[in-house]
Amino acid sequence: MCFDTVHMNVDDAEGLEKDTRLIKSMGFDGKSVVSPKQISVVHKVFAPSEKEIAEAEKTIFAVEENAKKGIGVFTMDGEMVDIAMLEGAKKVIAHAKDAGVYKGEL
Do 40 and 59 reside in the same domain of the chain? no
- Tell me which residue range forms the domain holding 22: 3-46
What pLDDT score was predicted for residue 1? Answer: 87
- For the chain, the domain total comes to 2
pLDDT digits (tens, 9 = 90+) for 11-20: 999 999 999 9
Q: Specify if 106 maps to a domain.
A: no
- 60: pLDDT strictly greater than 90: yes
Do 38 and 59 reside in the same domain of the chain? no
d(CA 62, CA 86) in angstroms, rounded, equals 10
Do 65 and 26 reside in the same domain of the chain? no
Q: Specify if 82 maps to a domain.
A: yes
d(CA 69, CA 82) in angstroms, rounded, equals 13
Q: Which of 55, 54, 63 is nearest to 86 (CA)?
A: 63
